[in-house]
Chain A
Amino acid sequence: MELLCLEMDTIIRARPDPNLLCDDRVLQRLLTIEERFLPQYSYFKGVQKDIQPFMRRMVATWMLEVCEEQKCEEEVFPLAMNYLDRFLAVVPTKKCNLQLLGAVCMFLASKLKETRPLTAEKLCIYTDNSIRPQELLEWELVVLGKLKWNLAAVTPNDFIEHIVKRLPLPEDKLALIRKHVQTFIALCATDFRFAMYPPSMIATGSVGAAICGLQLDSADQSQWGDSLTDLLAKITNTEVDVLKECQEQIERVLVSSLREGRQQQQQQQQTQRGPSGKGLEELDQSSTPTDVRDVNL
């Protein structure tokens, strides 16, 4: 059965509100409250017996694919992962229920953030009907209870505009930078090592990685020099060393996921002659993944 999407892309969205983005109080408030929404424990070391980090990655990757295919808003996926981590930090969960949990978290995040949210039926189809809509709705209530109905969590995406606005960046590159930053944030959300990091740090690290990756920082050395990290650190009150480490970690994850993807594609192409012509092109471009500029997002 094919998933058929007949929806037209006519969602009307609000413009960025300068009253919110230019007021320092908003950023400060986000920084103050963000810690409240972090998972309480590194749950693989205690609460969880049946599930392991690679399973979180599996479910995260699946969730990302669903969000992408359904053209969800950017923040839906990171928010859903926040719910998933907070739930797993308190409730021992079996591996066979992990996909159900992932679906529930997407369901909730989508309802909170989107004008046209994902439906229970659609999500169940994406699990290959291994769960039923009724189960999804029942567990929605359980997850809500465990999250104490605190759904409006702060995500790294909330910080993007605040950070970008405070940097001297060329106007014509902003759209590209945003896109890269969003990609890095999504990438971080698939990796458990970032699950306990404050969203502001992930956002700041992603902005740093995006600017370095596009080599915008080297265009005008006198303007940036070594100070990009300092400036970023100041914006979100992060320690410079910690931020540097975070940014490097993001870059490492990027490199390794590109490498992994390359191997995967090669394997796929060996078994089946490339399903799309674009596959080969992508392969060539990512063969030297150290230079992010070459990666056309």
Chain B
Amino acid sequence: MCRTMASHNRILSVLKNGPARRNLFGPVDREQLQVEYQTALQQDLEEASQRWGFDFILDKPLASSNFQWEGVPGTKVPLLYRSCLLDEEQGASRRAAGRICKVGRVEPQHNDKENIPHTPERCAVNMHDLEKTPERGENAGVKRKQTNLTDFYQAKRRVVWMPRKSGE
């Protein structure tokens, strides 16, 4: 285990001052932090809009878009890209949907492009663990879900640059 930092070490230990658990720069201004967070997200969203030529809030392509956008039903995209559902009940239905998707999957066609992933397969299997960090007693914690960038827009597929798979 010499590659972990456990075996360290005198040089770095002299940098230490007191217990590692400490607050460095005083209290955090939570309200201000929230404002900055919202601003930063907003900015990210605007940049994404410009880049992809899509209004993610109105869910419409921008007039100036360099891409052609085409709606795709949620069930046709890999699970990973579906809108995230937060509460227990919906979570259950999401898992159900995952199963349907898995069962309903057509036999894998002999696709000559090997590097095109057969996404529903793998996603369906790992769904429960998608955003969990292994931690004891997790269930006891607050029910919370990490935000995805994809939470902010519905699944869409870009069609211009992607050749269609023959089986679709």
| Majority SS at the chain A contact face | helix
Given known contacts A64-B12, A262-B14, A179 and B2 CB-to-CB distance under 8 angstroms: yes
- In the complex, B130 has a CB within 8 A of chain A: no
Contact status B11-A257, CB under 8 Å: yes
Chain B residues in 8 Å Cβ range of A58: 24-25
Contact status A130-B17, CB under 8 Å: no
Least CB separation from B5: chain A residue: A68
Across the interface, B15 reaches (CB within 8 A) one of A59, A61, A131, A137, namely A61
Contact status A128-B21, CB under 8 Å: yes
- In the complex, B6 has a CB within 8 A of chain A: yes
- Min Cβ gap A256→B in Å is 11
The stretch from B53-61, B104-112, B133-141 touching chain A is B133-141
Q: Counting chain A CB atoms within 10 Å of each CB, which of B1, B2, B9, B144 scores highest? A: B9
- Min Cβ gap A92→B in Å is 10
- In the complex, A55 has a CB within 8 A of chain B: yes
- In the complex, A127 has a CB within 8 A of chain B: yes
- In the complex, B103 has a CB within 8 A of chain A: no
The stretch from B37-45, B71-79, B81-89, B154-162 touching chain A is B37-45
- Min Cβ gap A57→B in Å is 9
A-contacting residues, B2-27, CB 8 Å: 2-17, 20-27
Given known contacts A64-B15, A99-B24, A258-B14, A183 and B9 CB-to-CB distance under 8 angstroms: yes
Q: Counting chain A CB atoms within 10 Å of each CB, which of B11, B17, B21, B30 scores highest? A: B11
- Min Cβ gap A182→B in Å is 8
- Min Cβ gap B75→A in Å is 26
The stretch from A118-126, A196-204, A218-226 touching chain B is A118-126
B-contacting residues, A82-120, CB 8 Å: 91, 95-100, 111, 116-117, 119-120
Size class of the contact patch on chain B: 35 or more
Least CB separation from A283: chain B residue: B14
Least CB separation from B37: chain A residue: A138
Q: Counting chain A CB atoms within 10 Å of each CB, which of B14, B23, B28 scores highest? A: B14
Q: How far is the CA of A126 from the CA of B20 in the complex (A)?
A: 6
Least CB separation from B26: chain A residue: A96
Q: How far is the CA of A64 from the CA of B146 in the complex (A)?
A: 26
| Majority SS at the chain B contact face | loop
- In the complex, B64 has a CB within 8 A of chain A: no
Chain A residues in 8 Å Cβ range of B28: 96-97, 100, 130-131, 135
Q: How far is the CA of A127 from the CA of B10 in the complex (A)?
A: 24
- Min Cβ gap B7→A in Å is 7
- In the complex, A28 has a CB within 8 A of chain B: no
- Min Cβ gap B13→A in Å is 7
Given known contacts A128-B21, A141-B41, A260 and B133 CB-to-CB distance under 8 angstroms: no
Q: How far is the CA of A34 from the CA of B111 in the complex (A)?
A: 36
- Min Cβ gap A160→B in Å is 10
Can you report 7 residue pairs joining A to B where beta carbons are below 8 Å apart? A55-B25, A61-B17, A64-B15, A74-B4, A116-B134, A135-B37, A137-B147
List residues of B whose CB falls within 8 A of some A CB: 1-17, 20-30, 33, 36-37, 40-41, 44, 133-136, 141-142, 144, 146-147, 149
List residues of A whose CB falls within 8 A of some B CB: 3, 6, 9, 13, 55, 58-59, 61-62, 64-69, 71-74, 77, 91, 95-100, 111, 116-117, 119-121, 125-128, 130-131, 133-135, 137-142, 144-146, 175, 178-179, 182-183, 186-187, 190, 254, 257-258, 260-262, 264-265, 282, 285-286, 295-297
Contacts A95-B25, A96-B29, A135-B37 aside, 10 further interface pairs with beta carbons under 8 A come to: A65-B20, A74-B4, A91-B40, A96-B28, A111-B133, A130-B23, A133-B142, A257-B11, A264-B17, A297-B9
